[in-house]
Amino acid sequence: MVIVIQCKDQVGLVASITTVLMRKGINIISMREFVNTEDARFFVRIETTESNDAALIEAALQAVLPEDTAIKVNPLPDKKIVVLVTKEYHCLSDILIRNHFNTLGAKVQCVIGNHTTLQELCNKFNVPFHYISHEGISKTIFEEKLIHTIQQYQPDYIILAKFMRILSPQFVALFAGHIINIHHSFLPAFIGAHPYRQAYERGVKMIGATAHFVTNDLDEGPIIVQQIIPVNHAFTAADMIKAGREIETAVLAKALQVVLDDRVFVYKNKTVVFE
Amino acid sequence: MVIVIQCKDQVGLVASITTVLMRKGINIISMREFVNTEDARFFVRIETTESNDAALIEAALQAVLPEDTAIKVNPLPDKKIVVLVTKEYHCLSDILIRNHFNTLGAKVQCVIGNHTTLQELCNKFNVPFHYISHEGISKTIFEEKLIHTIQQYQPDYIILAKFMRILSPQFVALFAGHIINIHHSFLPAFIGAHPYRQAYERGVKMIGATAHFVTNDLDEGPIIVQQIIPVNHAFTAADMIKAGREIETAVLAKALQVVLDDRVFVYKNKTVVFE
Amino acid sequence: MVIVIQCKDQVGLVASITTVLMRKGINIISMREFVNTEDARFFVRIETTESNDAALIEAALQAVLPEDTAIKVNPLPDKKIVVLVTKEYHCLSDILIRNHFNTLGAKVQCVIGNHTTLQELCNKFNVPFHYISHEGISKTIFEEKLIHTIQQYQPDYIILAKFMRILSPQFVALFAGHIINIHHSFLPAFIGAHPYRQAYERGVKMIGATAHFVTNDLDEGPIIVQQIIPVNHAFTAADMIKAGREIETAVLAKALQVVLDDRVFVYKNKTVVFE
Amino acid sequence: MVIVIQCKDQVGLVASITTVLMRKGINIISMREFVNTEDARFFVRIETTESNDAALIEAALQAVLPEDTAIKVNPLPDKKIVVLVTKEYHCLSDILIRNHFNTLGAKVQCVIGNHTTLQELCNKFNVPFHYISHEGISKTIFEEKLIHTIQQYQPDYIILAKFMRILSPQFVALFAGHIINIHHSFLPAFIGAHPYRQAYERGVKMIGATAHFVTNDLDEGPIIVQQIIPVNHAFTAADMIKAGREIETAVLAKALQVVLDDRVFVYKNKTVVFE
């Protein structure tokens, strides 16, 4: 069982929480606690031996904790995700393979593409593919179509796996805290378009990728995972794009792993990740 | 204040510990807990707001915990170390620089060398250097001299910073759990002598270094930190030794940082490191 | 066009080679040269502007170089590989995805499995799968069946993508220099069976993977690529296996990339890799 | 002997160069060649067996190469550097230690500080320290003093080892291509002041450092080396500064190693680094 709790910090929180668990005879296997002292914010993730009464435990915990506390007990063992794509295959392929072999930590409900490029790949894995083109319609209409399709599946998370359209604040607000994007640079470097061309022009010696929650400010949401790979003078801009595929795939995979394993908290514009 | 506790696992340990702290009005800033379920072994490290009564807290904790519990409250704020060296300067230099600028987390009491090569460097930093040669005397006598000198300083840890003599089980037993060595390979690869030559002959693509506590079995003690750096076909054995200096320096520095900050527990032949 | 040359070192080799190219009006885009001075062995890889007459250039080069020189001009633009597997999907999946999207640098001719576990995956990608069980037959017969099937496809390389049978010296000799294996450890650590269990027991802080050419000595062939990922005390042996999948996949992918791009030379028991 | 050549690309350059060497009986041990095809720019670095007649070889090479070719033969075996500092000790300490043990690849002629903080450290190593305060005088006068002192030593390179004053375009122009700076971020992220505070506020998961040649545009010169280290939510801005020291030290050390070993070419705003 996994228990995650976020609330305002105060003396005795851990004692209160663990006393509740002790009284129910639940043994703690692993516990990660962190207090952001600047913000007086308390975060804890507890793995325990098994228990049947998640609702009862949640209620017992709520009874001893501050009112505004966010508690999740045994959260969502069968998480559902929807993946949005455009034309690039690398991140989607990785997700579909893990989905197929049940090592993703969630089930892919469907893939939505604004091009048909990746439809065949989804077909191979019997994952529903919805083609929703952005062409010839307003952004509002386009997003209404996306929303209509997404809401049919009630996903826990929406994954932008190289989805090349910028989403409106209205769309983002609707799924606030539930949209994860893979960005093709080591944010905040090379914000915006053509980051690999920018990186090439600047002559950097590393390129990176950033997985983050999406907020209204483009490329400015809470960062979940960042990694880099070394490059050198012999890399053309095209080589950097190719190398970028590897790091983008790895970073998104890692981000999904920690998010789907309930290891990530969001507060203000940052994450707490208990790896 | 830092509190570190290790004992047999049982239900309610965290509740007992944090209730003691809560009753004394101590706020927990950061808490790392881990249970080795194979061994039913419990480890916790707690950083709290300040408090004056370390001894009282330790007693109060002991009263609610199993008998065999190892507790350290506010452990050794002014740790003392003794460094043993032979001829290589890189690890010792790094330690002396950090010691000089008070960023080591301990004070170097003295350096003992079985050669005089590094005496001048110690003189520069006004750190006592004791020359104890191993030549012309038995290992027993040599180690008696080492022990005599070390014991004058009552160090918390003895650092083997490229000390090229193998210590006897008797010596190790005397300072059990308090000797840290930097080994010039990614253990358990290339155990024994000339690891860089072995690495060169094998054509490896990485070389590593391992910082570990010393036990009777050469190169077999609990590992604290390991890191690697890439090498390639163009590296001669001499180039690997040179690259090895960089990684040895970095790995020993990291190991000292976590040990001196009370982030490392030892149980059986492994460590728990709360980084 | 790519030209790779290996021979005994002597004065003037580069001058001879580049003079031949200059006279044919071929421009060198990139050139990597290395001399192993211990063995007096010369290696060069040259990328040039395009040219039609590969055979003529090879003959012209051979005319000015020592007799025992190994020359490949524009080697095998459409390389063919055969993949051997058992039950684990991660390396094969990665290969099939790249194969499907034409980014592998070769075409997968077929997959041979000694279990049927991965047959369905191959079917999805329309890659022939041959089930050749090792059960109930001698190793000699088993390998005869493998050889019979492999030889139908005339592959440039045979990839052991988590193929869990040890191949005989006779089999290896038949395809000498053309078999690539992914080994689940940072060789030479943890040679042999259950490396992750060994790593767990030893309490290492990193686990690695090694891609290497296969020779008669198990796990002792020339190393192509090695990488590691950090682990810690919280990893069970099962967690290490899971983390190992990621690094095995990445290391084999990288090895295939450099081998299929003709960046790898083998001499004695080592590789020269011009990354 | 090391030979480095940069010029406009054309057919036959390598043949011309290596024919000159062959005729003088010089054997090539290692050769790295690169053509930037976008700019048609040719770069080569050759390590050869020893030879006495560097000037003759340079003349012989010049005779067969384009007029604008930059050639250095056996360049500056005893390079000289001057180090500029403010108050932070970590980069300077690393340089002084390597200088003291003759592993720097150059000799430190003097250290210039705009504070006296690091004077004592220089005294320990018998390296001249010049205190040139920027206070109470104009930038022009301050830089005139710097220039006057620097020029006494005729250094090959000026190292800004955490020198916290911005240099004028006039100063930079005077030593164009010979000033190396360590910048406390993964450029181009966090340009300007307080990068660690910026990194903390943004909630990044990595911090980096960049060693680069200094040009008129602040933080915009050709990048030599970049590396990163992982950080997480538990790092305060102060912790990031502390971690930053380690990566800054390592990155500047690596940059000095490749520059002083004549492995770095500059063209336009980028470097070619033959590692």
Specify whether D162 is located in the same domain as D178: yes
Within C37-124, strands assigned E span 41-48, 70-73, 80-85, 107-113
Specify whether C69 is located in the same domain as C105: no
**Are the CB atoms for A162 and A182 separated by under 8 Å?**
yes
What is the structure's pLDDT at B112? 98
3-class SS of residue A154: coil
Whether D204 sits inside 8 A of A227 (CB atoms) is no
Specify whether A67 is located in the same domain as A85: no
3-class SS of residue D48: strand
Alpha carbon of D108: minimum distance to chain B alpha carbons (Å) = 18
Task: Tell me the pLDDT tens digit for each residue of B57-88.
Answer: 999 999 999 988 999 997 767 899 999 999 99
Q: Which of C10, C22, C34 is closest, CB to CB, to D30?
A: C34
D144 or D241, which is more confident:
D144
What is the structure's pLDDT at B194? 79
Overall number of domains in chain A: 2
Residue in D closest to B230 by C-alpha: D275
Task: Give the CATH number of the domain where residue A219 resides.
Answer: 3.40.50.170
What is the structure's pLDDT at D253? 97
Specify whether D162 is located in the same domain as D264: yes
Is residue B156 flagged as an active site residue? no
Boundary-marking domain end, from C16, C47, C74: C74
Instruction: Name every chain A residue with its beta carbon within 8 A of the beta carbon of B10.
Output: 27
Interface list for B 139-198 with D (CB within 8 A): none
Task: Tell me the pLDDT tens digit for each residue of B81-130.
Answer: 999 999 999 999 999 999 999 999 999 999 999 999 999 999 999 999 99
Specify whether D107 is located in the same domain as D59: no
pTM of the model: 0.93
Task: Tell me the pLDDT tens digit for each residue of A131-183.
Answer: 999 999 999 999 999 999 999 999 999 999 999 999 999 999 999 999 999 99
Residue C60's pLDDT band, with cuts at 50, 70 and 90, is: very high
Residue C75 has pLDDT above 80, yes or no: no
Specify whether B70 is located in the same domain as B156: no
Specify whether B254 is located in the same domain as B150: yes
**Are the CB atoms for D42 and D7 separated by under 8 Å?**
yes
Instruction: Name every chain A residue with its beta carbon within 8 A of the beta carbon of C250.
Output: 246, 250
Specify whether B128 is located in the same domain as B208: yes
**Are the CB atoms for C162 and C88 separated by under 8 Å?**
yes
Whether B234 sits inside 8 A of D97 (CB atoms) is no
Residue B203 has pLDDT above 70, yes or no: yes
Task: Tell me the pLDDT tens digit for each residue of B3-24.
Answer: 999 999 888 898 899 999 989 8
3-class SS of residue A80: strand
Task: Tell me the pLDDT tens digit for each residue of C238-250.
Answer: 889 999 999 999 9
Specify whether B247 is located in the same domain as B133: yes
Boundary-marking domain end, from B54, B74, B94: B74
Residue A218 has pLDDT above 70, yes or no: no
Q: DSSP letter string over C99-127? A: HHTT-SSSEEEEEEESSSTTHHHHHHTT-
Question: CA nearest B26: which of B70, B64, B58?
Answer: B58
What is the structure's pLDDT at D105? 94
Average pLDDT over residues D30-55: 86
The mean pLDDT value of chain A amounts to 92
Specify whether A192 is located in the same domain as A153: yes
> Residue A268: is it exposed, middle or buried by C-beta count within 10 angstroms (0-12/13-18/19+)?
exposed
Alpha carbon of C262: minimum distance to chain A alpha carbons (Å) = 16
What is the structure's pLDDT at D25? 87
- Structural domain span for residue D33: 2-74
Task: Tell me the pLDDT tens digit for each residue of C138-175.
Answer: 999 999 999 999 999 999 999 999 999 999 999 999 99
Q: Does B251 touch chain C (CB under 8 A)?
A: no
Boundary-marking domain end, from A22, A47, A74: A74
Specify whether D125 is located in the same domain as D12: no
Residue D274 has pLDDT above 80, yes or no: yes
Task: Give the CATH number of the domain where residue A59 resides.
Answer: 3.30.70.260
Q: Does B14 touch chain A (CB under 8 A)?
A: yes
What is the structure's pLDDT at C259? 96
What is the structure's pLDDT at A160? 97
Alpha carbon of C23: minimum distance to chain A alpha carbons (Å) = 26
Specify whether D90 is located in the same domain as D64: no
Helices (H), chain B: 13-23, 54-64, 90-100, 119-124, 139-153, 169-174, 195-202, 237-260
Whether A226 sits inside 8 A of D206 (CB atoms) is yes
Q: Does B221 touch chain C (CB under 8 A)?
A: no
